[in-house]
Amino acid sequence: MNFKYPKNEKLKSKITIGLLFTEGKSVSKFPLRLVYKSESFGEGEKIKMGVSVSKKNFKKAVDRNYFKRVLRETYRLNKHLLIDNLDQPYSFMFFYQTKERLSYEEINLKTIQLFEKFIQQNCKKNDLDIKPALEKD
């Protein structure tokens, strides 16, 4: 499994980000939110991901940057949940939406739950029963 977060997976287009906010759908697992929209990218690209932490919740840039790093890391380690189950390319925006300072472990757990919730709601390829990654055999 490729656990990289290459440049071509980063969502940077202002137009695409604007479309996410106007036409995108959302799924939440407190305190995280995932806004998504089906897109068409270049060959071999299945996903574009951006992260955001509100300035309203964290006034200091140091705090916002810390949580953005944590969100990118949890995405990087768990993106296989999304990529393996996507039937078409998507753009995502990943938000941290609370003033609480959750630990890395808590954020990682919520990220996994959020990705599984997205998969259950949106992926036709997996009409079979999805086994949550958190369950142990």
Per-residue pLDDT of the chain (137 residues; tens, 9 = 90+): 778 888 888 999 899 899 999 999 999 999 999 999 988 877 777 889 999 999 999 999 999 999 999 999 999 999 899 888 888 889 999 999 999 999 999 999 999 999 999 999 887 654 444 555 555 44
8/12 Cα distance (integer angstroms):
9
Residue 128 inside a domain? The answer is no
pLDDT for the residue numbered 124: 61
For 12, the token pair is 């940077």
- List strand residue ranges (DSSP E) for 3-135, in order: 25-29, 32-38, 47-53, 90-96
User: Which residues face 79 on adjacent strands?
Assistant: none
The domain total for the chain is 1
pTM: 0.83
pLDDT for the residue numbered 54: 94
pLDDT for the residue numbered 86: 85
Residue 1 inside a domain? The answer is no
20/43 Cα distance (integer angstroms):
21
Residue 135 inside a domain? The answer is no
pLDDT for the residue numbered 126: 46
Residue 86 inside a domain? The answer is yes
**CATH at residue 49:** 3.30.230.10
Residue 134 inside a domain? The answer is no
Domain that holds residue 78: 7-122
